[in-house]
Amino acid sequence: MASERLTWLDALRLTAGVSMVGLHSTADAAGQPFAQWEMADRIAPLLIRALIYTARTELFLIISIFLLLMALERRPRTYRATLSEQARRLLVPFAFWTVFYAFYSLIKASHFGYEATIWAELKSPRTWIEYVLLGTSKYHMHFLPTLFGLVLFYPFFRIAKTHIWLGALVVVCLLIKRELDVFLWGYSTDWAGFEYLLRAVKIVTYTGYGFVAAALLGVWDRWGRDAALAGRMAQWFPVIFLMGAMLFLIKLAATFKTAQTGAWQHGYVAGYWADFLMPCVLFAGCLVLAHREWPNLISRVAKYSFGIYLCHPIFLDLIEIAIVGQSLSPISQVLLKMVGGLLGSIALVVCLGRLAPFAWTIGLGPLPWQRVVRGRVSTELGVSK
């Protein structure tokens, strides 16, 4: 291998982090496709969204499972030890950001006139249960409990590492997901367990991405680790590129429908498949090009991708507050939020990463009690000398 660092994988991590900023920047303050504006005003923001949201949250899931399975190859652990480690890595930062966003949302709510509603929700135990189990304290927090739910199934994923064809199960799983979602949404959504059942369906059917991650790790282990065999992977790039191009054309069709109607096209079946399969194609495309020259800067910046994902809503909320009441065009709003949100997030995560007591909140340092233990060990070693 040309380098010990998998720069191609870092590129995917960075793409996934930046894509989330782009996703949440290309909608209005209510999360809608600028429905109050004319079609001509919506086209540019939606085209940006179609391009930058090829990654989706699901790419983060594939990357995370791929890295977990790779780590287990290097340092085998028991199921219990693996879950314990993943809980510390994922759920402790999740708890911090859940509390943070629960109260931070009051700032935006006070400016948009629904502060009383948020306060009422914060006083309800049911709200906090949803925050913890569903990750609803902010629109992006669902990723962490969903990822931990997928980790529970990792022993099954490992089968696909030797039986690469099992990666195709993602198609079956996504088909089941769509049919179950349509079935559930066809009935009353007012009962208490609806969101939990919907999330359970999501986690179980998202196991397809786990099988994809394991299958691609199997490809990497067979051909990717040896630069001399890289040509066997690289020859598949034209096919992967063609698949990606066709999926993107479908995304463009969905984009046109959204621009035309001013409403998200959740019922567009082809758009569903294009959205949910694109992360698999994107990962596979980068994997088969792994031995090309990738800029080293990517790896230096990629370590902040998780932090960018976690922190970007802070700045998007502030920008939405700052521009409320101003007659900015949709494209102006989008560019302001994308640039401001990305630069603000990078600045914050770099600062957090350099502050030892807070680096753990973005996955860049030991947890507080681990720092205490390490400090004690260091002190004892110093005394023994």
The verdict on residue 194 lying in a domain is: yes
What's the total number of domains in the chain? 1
The verdict on residue 97 lying in a domain is: yes
What's the pTM value of the predicted model, to 2 decimals? Answer: 0.91
The verdict on residue 359 lying in a domain is: no
The verdict on residue 370 lying in a domain is: no
Q: How far apart are CA 124 and CA 118, in angstroms?
A: 10
Q: Which residues, 6+ apart, have CB-to-CB distance to 383 below 8 Å?
A: none
Q: What percent of the chain has pLDDT over 70?
A: 94
The verdict on residue 138 lying in a domain is: yes
SS3 state of residue 366: coil
Q: How far apart are CA 194 and CA 188, in angstroms?
A: 9
pLDDT of residue 170: 97
Question: Which residue range(s) make up the domain with 72?
Answer: 7-354
The verdict on residue 87 lying in a domain is: yes
Residue 372 has pLDDT above 60, yes or no: no
pLDDT of residue 381: 45
- Mean pLDDT for the chain? 90
pLDDT tens, 160-214? 999 999 999 999 999 999 999 999 988 877 888 899 999 999 999 999 999 999 9
Alpha carbons within 13 angstroms on the beta-carbon side of residue 276 total 22
More confident residue, 274 or 225: 274
The verdict on residue 229 lying in a domain is: yes
The verdict on residue 385 lying in a domain is: no
